[in-house]
Structure 1
Amino acid sequence: MQHDALLTQDELDFIQTMQHNPQLNMRDATSSLLVNGGSQIRDLLTRLAANEQVTIQAQFENQQMTFPLHLVEDEFHALHLRLGVPSIYEGGPKTVRPWRLTLEEPVALENAKGQPGTLWVHEVSFKGILLEVRNRTKPPKSFALWFSPSGYERIALRGTFERQNEQGYYAYQLNQGNTVETERLRQYILQQHRLTHPTLHV
């Protein structure tokens, strides 16, 4: 290597590895959106995204994904449309409901200190959760606890009791006040949907 080179060979190799690492580039590739179709369509979408909630919907078999469009500003103060984390739905011709992830093993909801309680998660969607209540305790009318799935950062959940099902589990509607926590829950569900339906995410 030349004596006056700005970077060593190791530094060059590291930069090239980062550029060709698909894991590092995955988020940008899936969230960026290039709008082809003329300036009128692009301007219309930009105006709508700035003032209203705009979504793109994809339908496949009995499932659909609804992607929100966000208007973001880059470091040069240029506005771009970016896809958000989708809401995933499933169902037939008459009823459509949020896609539910059934956990292989139930996970206990935790308090703020990370201690597990008596509520155990069996199914979760971005709008609701199905819980088992252990130790013969009465199901609460509402809860504010933490969901800590294995290998994933814990997520704050707030739920309100809806009904008891035939198996004796309790359905709660999630009412996430914090949009950051809502986004993290959607990210987790999207990640699990990829694992459950890998062919849809190729």
Structure 2
Amino acid sequence: MRRDALLTQDELDFIQTMQHNPQLNVRDANSSLLVNGGSQIRDLLTRLAANEQVTIQAHFENQQMTFPLHLVEDEFHALHLRLGVPSIFEDGPRVRPWRLTLTEPVALENAKGQPTALWVHEVSFNSVLLEIRNRAKPPKQFAQWFSPSGYERIALRGRLERQTDAGFYAYRLNQSDQDETERLRQFILQQHRLAHPNLHV
């Protein structure tokens, strides 16, 4: 390698590996949105997304998904519409967020990663159903970490709503961090894909 080369051979090899990695070169089909129908519709959606919350709703079987539309600016300062992570709802006597029932309960963790007496049985994008172990008193509020196996941990903040007939405690989530909310929605979407693969083909 020449002395005045800008990159070392290891750096060049790394860049070539990144370029030829098929997983990194696949576009995320869920994040881009192509609007056909003329510039008037595209301009209207862009103006609405810039000033209001705009969503696209899809209904299937007994469920519905609501995708938020975000206005994003690319490196050339052009504005594009992008689909956000959806909120998933179940139809029934009343529409409610889709709840993921965990096959095994997961203990919420404190900031140091140690398990607490709060165990998650069900989770949605706006609520969580907890079992309280070790005869602990259910807290009126909590701020803990949810660490499902194989996923990066997610900060959860909740406020006690009620005790269920089965002895669990329902908490309403009030996330203060938008990134944590998005990560929770992403986790729920991934689990929904596993539970309903025919809907995500």
Deviation at 1:166, TM superposition (A): 1.1
User: Match of 1:108, SS?
Assistant: strand
Deviation at 1:28, TM superposition (A): 2.5
- 5 Å matches for 1:40-55? 40-55=40-55
Query: How far apart are the structure 2 equivalents of 1:14 and 1:143?
Result: 44
Query: How far apart are the structure 1 equivalents of 2:177 and 2:26?
Result: 26
Deviation at 1:17, TM superposition (A): 3.6
Counterpart for residue 59 of structure 1:
59
Deviation at 1:24, TM superposition (A): 3.0
Query: How far apart are the structure 2 equivalents of 1:11 and 1:160?
Result: 47
User: Match of 1:30, SS?
Assistant: coil
Corresponding letter in the other structure for 2:183: R
Counterpart for residue 139 of structure 1:
138
User: Match of 2:71, SS?
Assistant: strand
> Which 5+ residue runs of structure 1 have no aligned equivalent?
1-9
Deviation at 1:11, TM superposition (A): 8.6
Corresponding letter in the other structure for 2:61: E
1:106-143 Cα offsets, whole Å, 9 max, x none, are 00000000000000000000010000000011100000
For the pair 1:77 / 2:77, whether they are aligned, the reply is: yes
Counterpart for residue 179 of structure 1:
178
Counterpart for residue 103 of structure 2:
104
Given the superposition, is the C-alpha separation of residues 109 and 12 from structure 1 closer, same or farther in structure 2, using an over 3 Å criterion? closer
Corresponding letter in the other structure for 2:117: T
Deviation at 1:89, TM superposition (A): 0.4
User: Match of 1:114, SS?
Assistant: coil
Corresponding letter in the other structure for 1:108: A
Corresponding letter in the other structure for 2:169: Y
Deviation at 1:32, TM superposition (A): 0.3
CA contact (8 A) 2:18 2:24 kept: no
User: Match of 2:170, SS?
Assistant: strand
Deviation at 1:96, TM superposition (A): 0.5
Counterpart for residue 34 of structure 2:
34
Query: How far apart are the structure 2 equivalents of 1:166 and 1:150?
Result: 28
- 5 Å matches for 1:110-189? 110-189=109-188
Corresponding letter in the other structure for 2:193: R
> Which 5+ residue runs of structure 2 have no aligned equivalent?
1-12
Given the superposition, is the C-alpha separation of residues 95 and 33 from structure 1 closer, same or farther in structure 2, using an over 3 Å criterion? same
User: Match of 1:75, SS?
Assistant: coil
1:42-88 Cα offsets, whole Å, 9 max, x none, are 00000000000000000001000000000000001000000000000
Q: Sequence identity, in percent?
A: 79
Deviation at 1:16, TM superposition (A): 6.5
Query: How far apart are the structure 2 equivalents of 1:179 and 1:97?
Result: 21
User: Match of 1:185, SS?
Assistant: helix
Query: How far apart are the structure 1 equivalents of 2:104 and 2:14?
Result: 44
TM-score, normalised via structure 1 length:
0.89
TM-score, normalised via structure 2 length:
0.90
Q: How many corresponding residue pairs?
A: 190
User: Match of 1:31, SS?
Assistant: coil
